[in-house]
A and B are shown apart, each in its own frame.
Chain A
Amino acid sequence: MFWLRLVPDDTKIQFMKGRIVGLATSAFLSIASVILFFHPGLNYGVDFKGGIAIEIQTPQPADFSVLRSNLDALGLGQVQLQQFGSPSDVLIRMEAQPTEKEQQTALDTVKKTLTDSVPGTVIRSVDSVGSTVSGELFQNGMMALGLALVAMLFYIWFRFEWQFGVGAVVTMILDVTKMIGVYAVTGMQFNLTSIAALLTILGYSVNDKVVVYDRVRENLRLFKSMPLRQLIDLSINQTLNRTIGTSLATFLACLPLAIWSGETLQQFAIVILIGVVVATTSSIFIAAPILLFLGEDKLFRKKAPPPAKGDGAAAGKGA
């Protein structure tokens, strides 16, 4: 019986050799993402920018010029029309009106204009978010992300050493910025669902880091005299099968969503797919090297160790 093993058991890749390249690439991508975040910026959905988004389905393929001229004639500011799915599905986005009252009136007018200009049009969904709420939603979302990072920092610090906590959180920040870069580059809408996607990736990523770090912690106890660099390489190699296996499984679970599901879930799933790759590589090439830099002196146990207890169990491994 043949069972799939993704990586041969005795793999000994010296990942830490690539630490400089890994960190540099990651830093470059993250900095680029931050720049893209400010300029040109993200394509914020109505959740965060405020405004009106209406999804309609016209009986025949939609005539954009008619819709556009009718909507522009209302003088309610910028109107964006976008086809999605079939040619008769149209997404209309309008900017937020100065006050909530005006927004309500605008919504009424727009709905009426749409059904009047193309008879038989079905309004499939409406999102109207006032400017106060959109600001709060954005702030709350960001605050949740931030606090989640701080809490993780303290828990990992508490359970491991501070170097692990810092390493995990710095990696996490690099991961999240890259994902924001993905939104900036692709122009995908950034809304509440995107926050859920980022949180999912964050959850997945921290899990991945904890697993690798956990093995490092265990090996630190087992091989008291092994240089940290070699020890980290050993730990990554030992967990490589699980790292890649879990990533593959998660990737497979999301793949159908990215291919088949509706607009909202599809974007969500695509982001997760990219996130899984980012999180997996960052566990190996970012989180581990940071630990190496931070822990080179601190975690390296100077004195010659007494014979380690776990040596028997670890025979034939690493040391």
Chain B
Amino acid sequence: MMYFAPWKKVTIWVVCLLGVILSLPNILPRSALDALPSWIPARQINLGLDLRGGSYLLLEVDMKAVVDGRLNNIQDSIRGLLRRENIAYTDLAVQDRSVGFTLADPSQADRVRTLLAENMQSGNVDPLASGQRDIDISVGSDGKAALTLTEVGLRDRETRAVEQSIEIVRRRVDESGTKEPLISRQGTSRILLQLPGEQNPDRIRRLLGQTAKMTFHLVSQDYQPGQPGPVPPDTEVLPLEDSRSATPQSIAIKKRIEVDGANLIDARAGTNSQNGQWVVNFEFDSAGARRFGQVTQANTGRPFAIVLDDKVISAPRINEPILGGRGQISGNFTAQSANDLAVLLRAGALPAPLTIVEERTVGPDLGADAIQAGVIAVAVGFLLVITYMTAAYGLFGLFANIALVMNLVITVAVLSLLEATLTLPGIAGLLLTLGLSVDANILINERLHEETKRGRSPFSAMDAGFSRAFGTIFDANVTSLIKMGILYSLSSGPVRGFAVTTAIGILTSMFTAIVLVRFMMVGWIRRNRPTVLPVLRKA
């Protein structure tokens, strides 16, 4: 108890020294940090957005759209398959999580079952790596068939939709020139986007608010919007964005996708050399270019619709076949909107719409004010605590104070090493740590006081005092650690930061309060050889 092996002494010194070195980068200015030799880990604690200013957006992937899209795909494939095989059917429809239809001739059930199994699970559908099927196929002998998305299939779709969305979000944010975006998945269907320093996330919001699915269609020749009679099944009426007139207009287009925006390899905003208007120039890959060439050749003289997210943004007449794979979208663009569209087209379409479910922005001066006020207040609080400890416990109070400072230093060092993010709740965590650490020191000093009053010699008082105080401190700290563990695993964001800082603080306080303090006390006793510990009032 009273003897520290040399390696223990060395370890204590090394830990304290490391703590100082590792926490130092946080107070050094940037220039000094850059001047440091590279072998020194110049890691800093990141300040959370609430302290440094910036924007925080929580996006939700529309899972219903993902599932609906998948079901519609299945429905289309079934329609194509059955038509190709000349099989008559009725009631092809999507219900809930499955696609059902009824065979006109139930005796074909076996053949259809085989056909579906061959085509739906290997051809159009990605087989899952695990060998599990993503669709359950059932064809009854009464001719009723149903293709149901399995739980595994659904989850797989969702995971992929979120991963794809993250990738597209990253590309869009990067393209927009925003610096250091942090993008991460949260929960099953959410994406967290943090933009440090971003004051006005309006443009990002606009960029993320669009799916940006672009397709090229032919304009219907035999149906006009508003024409009496039903809309033909292969035609759909969409709003026309391009209109320069005040009244909203719509246009009828063929449902068939002639060329898909996924085939685009580049898109840039530019101006039309003739009228100076803003346009978006685009370029197809070779497959897209070939297809685009064929379509424009076959339909020269007819209008062509460019559809973006279920709106026709432009419907120009095809003047001549476009064979090089390059084209131009002229719409009602401003410099900004042309640039935005170019960014969206370059980054690609989102697999499903995103909704912003939470948005927070903190201005930089507000963050700076918060830091300054917080730091000053914490410093003054610290000073008060130190004064109290010295007043209450004298020399041993000073030892406790050194331990408190080291506790803070080592906590900061560990947080820097983890490159953790410090938020306001994190500061609260540091405060709780300070409280618990002070408590540990008070417990020890009170015990020493009691044991000395009972007439024990310094070493025996230290022995008894520390071992008794240790039990208490241990139980108290483990209780707190358990709680922090629960908080960490259950919560997200700010409360998590609180749990991390507190847990690290508690662990380091075990070292500083129990090991470091004892080390200092033992050293002092060895040098001064007092007859009683200096913990009684009249020492």
> CB within 8 Å of B: which residues of A?
1-6, 9, 55, 100-101, 104, 107-108, 122-130, 132-133, 140-141, 143-144, 147-148, 151-152, 155-156, 159, 192-193, 195-197, 199-200, 202-204, 206-207, 210-211, 214-215, 218, 238-239, 241-242, 245-246, 248-250, 252-257, 259-262, 264-265, 268-269, 272, 313-316
Contact = CB atoms under 8 A, between A and B. Distances in A.
B491 A265 contact: no
B58 interface: yes
Given A123-B363, A199-B498, A257-B377, A151 B482 contact: yes
Given A125-B363, A211-B472, A261 B425 contact: no
Given A133-B358, A140-B490, A156 B479 contact: yes
Contacts of B380: 256, 260
A28 to B, nearest CB: 28
Nearest to B482: A151
B479 A204 contact: no
A111 B363 CA distance: 14
Interface stretch (B135-143, B165-173, B272-280, B446-454): B446-454
Contacts of B388: 4, 245, 248-249, 252
Contact of A204 (B381, B391, B435, B449): B435
Nearest to B206: A108
26 contacts: A1-B394, A3-B394, A3-B397, A4-B388, A100-B60, A104-B205, A127-B359, A128-B360, A140-B492, A141-B491, A192-B425, A197-B428, A199-B487, A214-B471, A242-B443, A246-B439, A252-B384, A252-B385, A252-B388, A253-B434, A256-B377, A260-B380, A261-B370, A261-B373, A268-B424, A316-B454
Nearest to A131: B357
A76 B432 CA distance: 41
B460 to A, nearest CB: 10
Contacts of A195: 495
B392 interface: yes
Given A248-B388, A252-B384, A200 B479 contact: no
B478 to A, nearest CB: 7
A174 to B, nearest CB: 18
A100 to B, nearest CB: 4
A124 B391 contact: no
B361 interface: yes
B494 interface: yes
B394 to A, nearest CB: 5
A272 B427 CA distance: 13
Contacts of B377: 256-257, 259-261, 265, 269
B389 interface: yes
Contacts, number: 239
A158 to B, nearest CB: 10
Given A1-B394, A5-B392, A246-B442, A104 B436 contact: no
A9 B453 contact: yes
Given A253-B385, A265-B377, A4 B391 contact: yes
Contact of A1 (B205, B453, B475, B539): B539
Contacts of A249: 385, 388-389, 435, 438-439, 442
A193 B425 contact: yes
A3 B370 contact: no
**What secondary structure prevails in chain A residues at the interface with B?**
helix
B96 interface: no
A2 B439 CA distance: 22
B480 A55 contact: no
Counting from the closest, the 8 A-B pairs by CB-CB distance are A256-B380, A253-B381, A252-B384, A196-B425, A261-B373, A130-B357, A250-B435, A257-B377
A231 to B, nearest CB: 16
B391 A3 contact: yes
B34 interface: no
B97 interface: no
Greatest chain B CB density within 10 A among A2, A127, A148, A248 is at A148
B366 interface: yes
A152 B453 CA distance: 34
Contacts of B472: 210-211, 214-215
A165 B352 CA distance: 50
Contacts of B449: 9, 241
Nearest to B446: A242
B464 interface: yes
B357 A265 contact: no
A211 to B, nearest CB: 6
B495 A264 contact: no
Greatest chain B CB density within 10 A among A3, A200, A204 is at A3
Given A101-B355, A148-B487, 11 more contacts: A100-B356, A125-B363, A128-B358, A144-B491, A204-B436, A207-B479, A207-B480, A214-B472, A218-B471, A254-B431, A269-B377
A262 B537 contact: no
A199 B495 CA distance: 9
A200 B365 contact: no
B347 to A, nearest CB: 20
Contacts of A124: 362-363, 365-366
